[in-house]
Amino acid sequence: MVASPGVVGRAKAVRGVGGKRPRCGLVATLAENLAAKTRFGADRQKEHRCGVLAIAMENVWRSASYVVAKGLIARRFDMKRFVYVVWACIFAMVSTVSQAQDNAADANNPLANVVAFNIQNYFIDSFTGLPDDVDGNQFVLRYAQPLSFGNTNWLLRASLPFNSLPVGSGNRTVDGFGDFDVFLAYQFPNMKPGISFGVGPQIVAPTATDDRLGADQWQLGIANVYFNATSPKFQYGYLAIYREGIGSTPEGRDRPRVGALQPFAFYQLGDGWYTGGAPIWNYDFNTDNYNVPLGIRLGKVQQFGRTTANFFVEPQWSVANRGPGQPEFQIYAAINLQFR
């Protein structure tokens, strides 16, 4: 699990070729496809929808790839603009494609027995103890893979963040990759249908491209996941972790001792739409600093062949916190894909 950062920074503008910012041509493309849709017969609509999805995903991927590539070179983002444009494109795409609900209840299950790939983003608009004009971002790529060892079933989940944090002098933004996070959860057998329960080790590797963007040492911990999908209308559960630094602690740094709880609850609205929330509550055992956000999500689950796509946006507000650099308001958005 990658928790939203305690300190995040101001996003910087990045220019494309010819001094222009990258643009998403998806809106225009969708408009053309919507106009064309009226000319298609019923026998052509399925083919058209697949084409819309392919075009949409291609444009979103190109935009994301461009911004990440330019950020690695220029070391700065116009992340606010990027997030708004990409998620507007995504929801425009979702509104044009037919949906299936067969896997809606399982779409948010972190222990689902399927290969999954998630593209997640936290845009943080304000922080405790920092100037009002300081904002930042955490962009997360996550992969999950079911594994079997003998008669036992496990789930491997790996996450890598790309952060923009105000950890430089004078709240200067520092951009770069954060620490690589992996946990391996043993899935308990013979559970009641619709219930998933897993426990396993967590390892965090100090892969941050700048020491200020990570803990600067290896960490070892434990993760526990519970998900209840016995009801087709309401699903709930939690992800809990605790981890500590191991080995020598770099001079001037504290040995990490961090706990986090992510409760989640989702209510199916019908037609693939759902609401709910999945905030991450953090606690630092070294400083007693903490953050408790609450959010409200609007999401859409769609089936594309054997792929279940979960699109959502979830604004989150901090209702209790202690210490500087805690997100006061952030927007959590994602595309979660399950390959069945």
- Helix H, strand E, coil C: the string for 167-209 is CCHHHCCEEEECCEEEEEEEECCCCCCCEEEEEEEEEEECCCC
Q: In whole angstroms, what is the distance from residue 235 CA to residue 106 CA?
A: 9
On the 0-12 / 13-18 / 19+ scale of CB atoms within 10 A, 339 is exposed
Q: Is pLDDT at 45 greater than 80 in this prediction?
A: no
Q: What does the block give as tokens for 88?
A: 């507007």
Write down the mean pLDDT value for the chain.
80
Please compute the mean of the pLDDT values over residues 112-125 and round it to a whole number: 96
Please compute the mean of the pLDDT values over residues 52-61 and round it to a whole number: 47
Q: Is pLDDT at 73 greater than 90 in this prediction?
A: no
Answer for the pair 160, 178: CB distance below 8 angstroms, yes or no: yes
42-74 vs 79-94: helix axis angle to the nearest 10? 170
Q: How far is CA 275 from CA 7, 107, 125, 176, in A?
A: 28, 13, 22, 32
Q: What does the block give as tokens for 55?
A: 């075009």
Q: What does the block give as tokens for 11?
A: 């996003």
Q: Is pLDDT at 187 greater than 80 in this prediction?
A: yes
The conformation of residue 13, written as its DSSP 8-state character, comes to: -
Please compute the mean of the pLDDT values over residues 46-51 and round it to a whole number: 45
Q: Is pLDDT at 116 greater than 60 in this prediction?
A: yes
For the chain, percent of residues with pLDDT exceeding 70:
70
Q: In whole angstroms, what is the distance from residue 268 CA to residue 41 CA?
A: 32
Q: Which 3 state secondary structure label does DSSP give 34?
A: helix
Strands 327-339, 219-228: pairing kind: unpaired
Q: Which fold has domain 115-339?
A: Porin (2.40.160)
pTM of the model as a whole? 0.75
pLDDT digits (tens, 9 = 90+) for 266-318: 999 999 999 999 999 999 999 999 999 999 999 999 999 999 999 999 999 99
Following CA atoms 6, 7, 13, 16 in sequence, which dihedral angle do they give, to the nearest 10 degrees? Answer: -50
Q: How confident is the model at residue 27 (pLDDT cuts 50, 70, 90)?
A: very low
Q: What is the pLDDT of residue 75?
A: 40
Q: How far is CA 8 from CA 28, 56, 126, 333, in A?
A: 34, 30, 9, 17
Higher pLDDT, 39 or 271: 271
Q: In whole angstroms, what is the distance from residue 98 CA to residue 103 CA?
A: 14
Q: What is the pLDDT of residue 290?
A: 98
Q: What is the pLDDT of residue 92?
A: 53
Q: Is pLDDT at 320 greater than 90 in this prediction?
A: yes
Max mean pLDDT among 102-106, 133-137, 251-255, 315-319 falls in: 315-319
Q: Is pLDDT at 95 greater than 90 in this prediction?
A: no
Q: How confident is the model at residue 258 (pLDDT cuts 50, 70, 90)?
A: very high
Answer for the pair 256, 219: CB distance below 8 angstroms, yes or no: yes
Please compute the mean of the pLDDT values over residues 255-259 and round it to a whole number: 95
